[in-house]
Amino acid sequence: MMTVKRALCLSLFLLMTVVGSSAISAVILQYHHIGEDTPRVTTASVPEFTAHLDWLAENDFEVIALDELIARRKNNQLSTADTIASISFDDTSKTICTEAWPILYQRRLPFIIFVNTEIMEVANNTQCSWQELQQMEKTGLLTVGNHSHTHRHMTDRSGFNSYQQWLKVMREEVVIAENILREKLSSVKKIFAYPYGESNERLQYVIEQLGYVGIGQQSGAIGNTTDLTNFPRFPLSGRYADLEKLEDKLLSLAMPLRAQNVEASNNDEQGPILTLMLEDGFDKQVQCYLGTGEAIDTQQNKRQVIASYPHKIQAGRNRYNCTAASDLAGRFYWYSYQWIQQ
């Protein structure tokens, strides 16, 4: 996520190699709790979770470990023949062990849990234990990712005396968690899920320098040009767990980006200006929307798309979702950009 301030125009220009075809469907599913007695906003019920997995099987999705999906992205091995899904859980809710695990084990489906390590040091019955994680590891189905030590809002620099101090603490959040995870578990991967899905270009740089692939919480599919510091995921909890509303997302295609540019607007209350440079030969009309679903001004000139919202935007987490129809019936290209509005 990006904090937009008039005083500092943050411009992020991500040049990416254009490889492969435009129509690639590879998605990451994100869960927290599986059950009935946890907060609905972060919960998918057991019937909902089972229905999601049934749908993947019925639609011939290949369910692979997230580190394998990342390897395919790095090696430019994603193709039009792919319908791929990876399953991820943020935090270590006990319901992952008691409810999700038996279902995943029966189906032999790989998955990743992103662990924030501080809560694991507190003895309580709301989290999976280290022993339970170790037992799941032994089956070869579980891999473990880094979710920071304290699960703080890592983009929030308030309370720090300097940028250098903030940077030092953020690095420690990752390194401390990594050291604990490697002491306790054997399947730890250099994959980092940003707490609350919040990141910015500075934090992404930290993650990259530490040798990690960064995983966000903005929606979208993954292709051969997806930014390795900010992979998208589809949250499938709460109102997003409805399978009827989910199908279009899981069948979404990676927007064929060549590069992107983000600039702060001239007004603190307005949204940033997002510029997307599309692959050569892409001739579809792109339309962008606010996360609320409201269509926003989207200008397209050949392979360049410029989207901005020139009106007041609510403070907090916001996003632009950009979509375009494809030549495949009922399937859409999807790209999401997320930021924090001050």
pLDDT value at position 165? 97
pLDDT value at position 266? 84
In tens, the pLDDT along 111-164 reads: 999 999 999 988 678 999 999 999 999 999 999 999 999 999 999 999 999 999
pTM of the predicted protein model: 0.91
pLDDT value at position 23? 62
- List the domains of the chain with CATH numbers: 20-254 (3.20.20.370), 258-341 (2.60.40)
**Closest to 102 in 3D by CA, of 45, 31, 46:** 46
C-beta atoms surrounding 302 within 10 Å: 10
Between the alpha carbon of residue 100 and those of residues 53, 163, 186, 213, 219, the distances in Å are: 11, 41, 21, 25, 22
- Spans of the chain, pLDDT less than 50: 2-22
Dist CA 278 CA 96 (whole Å): 39
**What is the SS3 assignment for 235?**
strand
Which regions of 17-160 does DSSP assign to beta strands (E)? 25-31, 33-34, 43-44, 62-63, 83-90, 111-115, 142-146
pLDDT value at position 75? 94
Dist CA 152 CA 131 (whole Å): 25
Dist CA 42 CA 173 (whole Å): 23
pLDDT value at position 10? 35
pLDDT value at position 7? 30
* Token representation of residue 196: 């609350």
